[in-house]
Amino acid sequence: MSRPLVVKVTCGAEDPERCNQGFTVAATALAAGAEVSLWLTGEAAWFGVPGRAEAFELPLATPLADLLAAVVAGGTVTVCTQCADRRGITPEGVLDGVRVAGSATFVEEALREGAQALVY
């Protein structure tokens, strides 16, 4: 059985390769059968808002919107509460299937038995 995987993406379009890598790892782990929780923090918080992932482009990479949709469908996607607040993102303004939660939830997920956390 796979370990739970918590992936935190801290960057957005300003660092496209690192950003896309975090989404790719989350979607790949999900496809491999892992329980995946993807956290969108910092500038990545914008990808929890409709239309933002579709606007992201990185040559030769799977479209970010497709990766995000896969994780929303089979895992958990969370926008950081403080990051959302700083950007004026409300819980009502995020994509269906995306939640807004804070550090207590992140710590709870990351400290679960057998969990692995990765930060991009």
Domain spans of the chain, in order of start: 5-119
Task: Find, among 116, 79, 81, 84, the residue nearest to 99 by Cα.
Answer: 79
Name residues whose C-beta falls within 8 Å of residue 93's C-beta, 6 or more positions apart in sequence.
Answer: 49
Q: For the domain bounded by 5-119, which CATH number is listed?
A: 3.40.1260.10
**pTM attached to this predicted model:** 0.96
Place 87 in a pLDDT band, splitting at 50, 70 and 90: very high
Q: Running DSSP on this structure, what letter comes out for residue 13?
A: T
CA-CA distance, 3 to 116, in Å (whole number)? 7
pLDDT of 53 reads: 98
pLDDT of 24 reads: 98
Tell me the pairing of strands 116-119 and 76-80.
unpaired
Report the chain's C-alpha Rg in angstroms. 13
pLDDT of 1 reads: 56
Percentage of residues of the chain with pLDDT beyond 90? 98
Place 2 in a pLDDT band, splitting at 50, 70 and 90: confident
* 34: pLDDT strictly greater than 80: yes
Task: Find, among 107, 32, 108, the residue nearest to 75 by Cα.
Answer: 32
Neighbours of 33 (CB within 10 A): 10
